[in-house]
Structure 1
Amino acid sequence: MKNKTFINAFFLILLITFVAYLESPYSFINKDYAYSTEEPVLTQPVTAKPDENTPETIEKLDKTKKENGYIIETYKEYEIYRDKDGKVTKEEPTGHEDTLKYYDYSKDKDQ
């Protein structure tokens, strides 16, 4: 019994070692990818500003109602277009709605 446990533990360690090798940058799977800690990574900062014609999407509370001890809130999504100064020029509904339903704890305080 002790010998069988030793063999199982040995194969488990062997399997973990093999998986760690496969996930390392030096394995045969990753041989096509260059890996060097001596060379710096070259990146360019992103300086592009969003286009003025690109809408921003926000959700606004449309209605709230109480029903069977719950508060149900309905939110509608809108596309908002802004000018250069950040003022809202156009606001269009997208037709997307989200509904939140949560328990009304305020009625428990009244009792």
Structure 2
Amino acid sequence: MKNKIKIYPLLLLAIVLVPVAYFESEYVKTLYDTEPLLLGQASGANNETTMAIPEEKEETSEENLTLQLDQRLVDREEVDGYLVETYREYELYEDQAGNVKKVIPTSNYDYIRYKLDE
């Protein structure tokens, strides 16, 4: 009876250590290699680097533009005794002289509610 009691901890230890050793082995790591392959690229093939050539840009390049955020009034309405103003956020791109070159609306809205005296 004492021999059976001594065998069970060893058996339990083997049941735990065998799967852990298997999953930590190099064989399993090579099975789950996460290096992405490009289309038409075989495993282990040399990668050829390509470089995109930028197109000719207009006078003002986007690198020289500064970004500012602006809130503009979009709507004003009366709801349940309140005046609700809706403001939309815009991205303003300015050149170094302060001239606005691009205006891009964002999806951010702010709402301000004023109580009307009646």
What is the TM-score of this pair, normalised by structure 1? 0.46
What is the TM-score of this pair, normalised by structure 2? 0.44
| Structure with greater Cα Rg | 2
